Amino acid sequence: MNPRYSIALAMSLLVLAQTVKAEIPPINWSGQVRLGYLGVRSDNDESDNLFYQTSVHADSYLWRPWFGVWNLDLSWSQSDSSGSVNDSSSTAVTGNGRVMLFHKSRFPFEAYFQVTDSSVDLADSVLSDIDSRTYRFGVLQRYSSPEPGGGSYDARLERYVQEVGSRDETNTTDLFTATGRWRKPKQDISALFQWRMDKLETGGLDNNELLARVDHNWNPSDAMNITSSASLNYLEFNASNAFANFTTTELVADSRLSWRDPERPLRVRAGVNLQWRQSDSGGGGTDDRRLRLQAGADYDLTERLVLSGDVSANVDVDAGGITSSFQRIDLRYTPEVIRLRWGLDYNWSTGVFARNEIFSEGEDIQSVGGNIQHNVNKLVILGEGRSTVLVFGAGQSVGGELRSDGEDSTILSQSISSTLNHSSGSRVASLSGIYTWTRDSGRFDNTVQVATLTGAYSRPFGDNGTFSSSFSASDARVDSEESSSHTNSALFDMDYFQSRVFGVANLSYHGSLEFRWDRFISEIGNSGNSGTGRWLWKNQFRHFIGKLESRFEVNYLRTSRGSNDVRILLDFTRHF
């Protein structure tokens, strides 16, 4: 070949290579290699697990930065387990990825996927024995109108697949979701459409569900607001057992109006609610349509005296008649706060009401009643810079109701509460408690007592440590002539973090201790007692040397039933 042609060809190839290289977007790479050991020692199992994981992350743009971007995470994992129950080995490739086109425009498009495998999931120092692999794929399209109030729209199509190897099952879910939102002067409209299809090999289930909903908020004027909504829910449930098959259709429409008279202290409200429910199963079906109408008003007779009235009616649309109606009128008086000696604030209020309930079947009920309540509060601020705040309160209320059906009742309630907050530099502490006692003499004829106590504390510890702690406890008791129950629970936890442990740079320690207790006692003819509790102690050391991360964990769990569980994790991760 002529040397001139050879030189020209070489130069042409070099120019072409430089051009192609210039067109290939740069790729950002990162990743990690992880090697670890997890030992489990419990009353039911002893196992040793070795795991290895390599993960890679990459991201870049497509053609031009404005055209599209993408990211990809891939992991190759292997776990080998030997124990007293069985031996197992698992290998899996997992990851996720995402491609976004026109991501800075008004119509961005997105496609994504995710693959997980529970057998090599290393989260929370736990290796799962369930061989479950999941796949998730989806596309998402958005659009935003450039016009004011033109709206924004989303449409998403997604498939979820779960493979359970131990049961040789494959479950799939297909989901389509579309949403829209429009903002106009004095109006806000949103819409949702969702279609879901489930195919579960467990039980041979095949379900279809359709959901559609529209919400509208309208402010015709500064004094009026109207909120309306309509929803449709359709469910088709099919199983291998034909007797369990059924379909349901439910339609709900609701609208509420509120209006405030700009000239007078009058507030008016009204509402209408329509419900239609239809179901069909192997044993028959139902068709039920109901309408509820509501109206009410509040009028301020004085600055402290308010008169309120409400009426409502429930209509059976199929029967064409009113099944029940309700009328109520209230009068409530709330005076100004009274300042007492020693900085005490005294509040009280009282109210009376009359109510009428009419039923198409059964006895109508008329009732009158009232209540009065009062409480006293004290605020104390102490310390330099007002660092300590104490709030104390005590209250009492009594109410009664006389009913035409003889179900009269009297309710007496008393409460006492206190809250203490203290701060000094970086130290913060709080403590609060409340006790309530309520006696219902009448319809329920019971006594209810509830006490709660909570607290928290945090502070720096040395130059590189922080300590925090919190607790909560509650006790509730319900007593009546027929039965009594007693429930109590407690939760206490401490958390400590220390960097530069033993003066070593990049060596940190994180420890936590948690105690939980729950108990329920019920007496209905006989006695029953059940309580559960547990201690959980976590310890973790973490060290970095450049891009090498080392972690050592020891977790201990003990339950009130005497079971013990110890987990030891040691792993090394090299980042790149």
pLDDT in tens, the chain (576 residues): 554 555 455 545 544 545 545 567 899 999 999 999 999 888 877 888 898 999 999 999 998 899 999 999 999 998 888 876 677 788 889 999 999 999 999 999 999 999 998 776 654 444 444 568 899 999 999 999 888 777 999 999 999 999 886 667 889 999 999 999 999 889 999 999 999 999 987 767 889 999 999 999 999 999 999 999 999 999 998 876 555 688 999 999 999 999 999 999 999 999 999 999 999 876 677 888 999 999 999 999 999 999 999 999 999 888 778 899 999 999 999 999 999 988 899 999 999 999 999 998 878 999 999 999 999 999 988 866 668 899 999 999 999 999 998 889 999 999 999 999 999 888 999 999 999 999 998 877 899 999 999 999 999 988 899 999 999 999 999 998 888 889 999 999 999 999 999 889 899 999 999 999 998 887 764 555 567 899 999 999 999 999 999 999 999 999 888 889 999 999 999 999
Q: How many CB atoms lie within 10 A of CB 222?
A: 9
Note if the pTM is more than 0.85.
Answer: no
What is the per-residue DSSP string for 94-155? EEEEEEEESTTSSS-EEEEEEEEEGGG--GGG---SS-EEEEEEEEEEEEE-SSTT--EEEE
What ranges make up the beta strands (E) of 222-304? 224-238, 246-260, 266-281, 284-300
User: What letter would DSSP give residue 167?
Assistant: T
- Give the chain's length: 576
pLDDT in the model for residue 20: 47
Q: Which residues contact 99 (CB under 8 A, 6 or more apart)?
A: 62, 68, 69, 70, 110, 111, 112
pLDDT in the model for residue 370: 97
pLDDT in the model for residue 150: 79
Dist CA 461 CA 468 (whole Å): 10
DSSP bridge pairs for 314: 292, 324
Tokens of 329: 């009128």
